[in-house]
Amino acid sequence: MQFEVLATCHTTRARVSRMTLAHATTNLPTFMPVATQAAIKGLTPQQMEALGVTLILNNTYHLNLRPGIKVLEAAGGAHHFQGWRHNLLTDSGGFQLVSLSKFTKITEEGALFASPFTGEPTMLTPEESISIQHAIGADIIMQLDDVVSSLTVGPRVEEAMWRSVRWLDRCIERHEQAGKQGVQNLFAIVQGGLDPALRDACLEEMVKRKDRVAGYAIGGLSGGEEKDVFWRIIAQCAAKLPADRPRYSMGIGFAEDLLVCVALGVDMADCVFPTRTARFGVALTFKGPLNLRLRKHAKDMGPIDENCPCPSCRDGISRSVLNHLVTRETAAAHAVTQHNLCFQAQVMGRARDSILEGTFPQYLRTFFSDYFGENGYPEWCVNALRSVGVDLLEGYPNAKVVKGPGMKWDYSDAP
């Protein structure tokens, strides 16, 4: 991996950087679409390429179960298997194990779970997670960490944090034994729950291993915790992670979350949100999400967004036909998914452009005004951005600020 910071924002901690991996150069900050089963739900690799996407995510847990490592090895790795020519990131499999398996027991050796096929107890160790990710062949691979829900409290959070540090060492050992450094790039995952002291302890240990890891992720968030706590943990971690390593905030996909994280110094994020919400008929736009199921779109012959460069909007797929088809025909899911991923790319692309031009604070103010308008700005976003010197209300004295996570989507007219 080559990682080079090209510009930093004069006000916030945002930065633009260039990350060169074996299959592509990816400009950061970027949003990574999730291809859980070796496919973005609803789009072909060629469509992803046409949207300019250069980095996607595969889930190790799913690929290891099906088609399995033997098939992936026979295919020459996951890139060949799915026909994806650009960069690929795999998670460790740990998060899915904990969230999807019928039972999981964490021991020092690894995560013990029931095989979904035979019900037999099966162990995933840090070493095996790395070996599976070597076979998959992703450009960026993740350490196995001991994942606890962000709502967990008490000694289990500290235990999981220290175990994640020990498992990082085992992952590094296996990665280096296999001689994969530089070919595949191992990221550490900072844990410690919502406790700033535990986060600091984890950061200190993991930063000590900087020369043996290519980048860092901030894990254990986006699990239903208060947004006001979420942003403070992101700010704390991003500020203390080394400037010469990419920083990846896991499981973040709402536009406002992305922009706050970028302002706090985050470079990468992933989430199933934009593709999942597309299948439920919600299109993302700079004027806020649009529920295409609402009857008010039935006679609207305009595109989702007149200014959107995506093929769905450019080639005249109307809100009217989407209203007719969405959640019923797969073609509508394809069209809206394509649009939503283009929207995510534009949110991040405009962040990069404005950081380079020195206008990122103004972009934030304009974005929030357009996106939240009279619905009101989420208070946590206002507070988070104030902490890095941006007052969203500057120039917008009448903007309303609302408590809670913000943005209530209107499904009231849905059929």
**Active site members:** 91, 270
> Is residue 21 involved in binding Zn ion (CB under 5 A)?
no
The piece of 73-81, 134-142, 150-158, 331-339 that touches Zn ion (CB under 5 A) is: 331-339
Which of 1, 165, 310, 384 binds Zn ion (CB under 5 A)? It is: 310
User: Which lies closer to Zn ion via its Cβ, residue 170 or residue 339?
Assistant: 339
Which uninterrupted H or E stretch holds 284? Answer: none
Cα distance between the two ends of the chain = 50
CA angle 289, 290, 294 (to 5 degrees): 145
The number of helices, as runs of H, and strands, as runs of E, in the chain is 16, 18
Shortest Cβ 332–Zn ion spacing (Å): 13
User: Which lies closer to Zn ion via its Cβ, residue 119 or residue 302?
Assistant: 302
Shortest Cβ 375–Zn ion spacing (Å): 22
SS3 of 283, please?
strand
Which of 63, 308, 333, 388 binds Zn ion (CB under 5 A)? It is: 308
Shortest Cβ 43–Zn ion spacing (Å): 13
Q: Which of residues 140-199 bind Zn ion (CB under 5 A)?
A: none
The footprint of Zn ion on this chain (CB under 5 A) covers a number of residues equal to: 5
Contact at 8 Å (CB) between 89 and 55? yes
Shortest Cβ 292–Zn ion spacing (Å): 12
Which of 313, 317, 341, 390 binds Zn ion (CB under 5 A)? It is: 313
Contact at 8 Å (CB) between 124 and 97? yes
> In this structure, what token pair is assigned to residue 134?
């070597």
User: Which lies closer to Zn ion via its Cβ, residue 35 or residue 322?
Assistant: 322
Strand order in the sheet with 268-270: 30-32, 268-270, 247-249, 215-218, 185-190, 140-142, 87-90, 55-58
> Is residue 336 involved in binding Zn ion (CB under 5 A)?
no
CA distance 232 to 247: 16
> Is residue 284 involved in binding Zn ion (CB under 5 A)?
no
DSSP, res 194: T
Maximum Cα interatomic distance, the chain, rounded to a whole number of Å: 62
User: Which lies closer to Zn ion via its Cβ, residue 83 or residue 309?
Assistant: 309
Contact at 8 Å (CB) between 267 and 288? no
Q: Which of residues 338-397 bind Zn ion (CB under 5 A)?
A: 339
The piece of 148-156, 243-251, 324-332, 333-341 that touches Zn ion (CB under 5 A) is: 333-341
What is the contact surface with Zn ion in residues (CB under 5 A)?
308, 310, 312-313, 339
